[in-house]
Chain A
Amino acid sequence: EDQVTQSPEALRLQEGESSSLNCSYTVSGLRGLFWYRQDPGKGPEFLFTLYSAGEEKEKERLKATLTKKESFLHITAPKPEDSATYLCAVHTNAGKSTFGDGTTLTVKP
């Protein structure tokens, strides 16, 4: 059974305090791992897709990396507007998508 586990469940940072969110996965035949950002009361917003171990992608203060077992979402010098829930999901060769529970990030000014 495909599994996606995100940690920590919640993360509180001071503005400018860099940190990382973790997404561990066990799937049979990974096609892609993707990260979404979700603000309260809104649908998820696509951030990145990673396809193979060693791949990295960046967008502003966010950088996503991928290994064979996990992905990290690094947040450099976060700002209050980065506060949101970050969702990780995997898509398999069988055409299935499995989402993690998410990490709720709060950045205090």
Chain B
Amino acid sequence: ETGVTQTPRHLVMGMTNKKSLKCEQHLGHNAMYWYKQSAKKPLELMFVYNFKEQTENNSVPSRFSPECPNSSHLFLHLHTLQPEDSALYLCASSQDLSFQETQYFGPGTRLLVL
């Protein structure tokens, strides 16, 4: 596998479910990001990790919980989501935060909350 991979690609969950999104990067990067992309809205940065440490949380509700066990893996744990949380969730990585502008994105997880 090369680049940035995300699983699952599609997810349907009820508002009472608990699920996790996984991201893995094979680029040797140190910074990883979670973005939310909703229809007709620009990309919204959710979380930033640099060398496994969270450096940014853009006022994301606590029903979204990130985890970064190492520089290659990033998770987004979901619980008690709302229908308005349905969106494409994108993971990205970059060499480090000084190279933040050159981010490499995964294919995304299309999430539908019923």
Contact = CB atoms under 8 A, between A and B. Distances in A.
Interface of A: 4, 31-32, 34, 36, 41-46, 49, 87, 89, 91, 95, 97-102
Task: State the 10 A-B residue pairs at the shortest beta-carbon distance, nearest first.
Answer: A43-B105, A99-B43, A99-B42, A91-B101, A32-B101, A44-B105, A101-B42, A43-B90, A43-B108, A43-B106
Nearest to B42: A99
A105 B43 CA distance: 18
A33 to B, nearest CB: 9
Given A100-B42, A102-B42, A46 B106 contact: no
Given A31-B101, A49-B102, A97-B100, A42 B41 contact: no
A42 B101 CA distance: 19
Which range holds the interface residue count of chain B? 20 to 34
Contacts of A43: 4, 6, 90-92, 105-108
B97 interface: yes
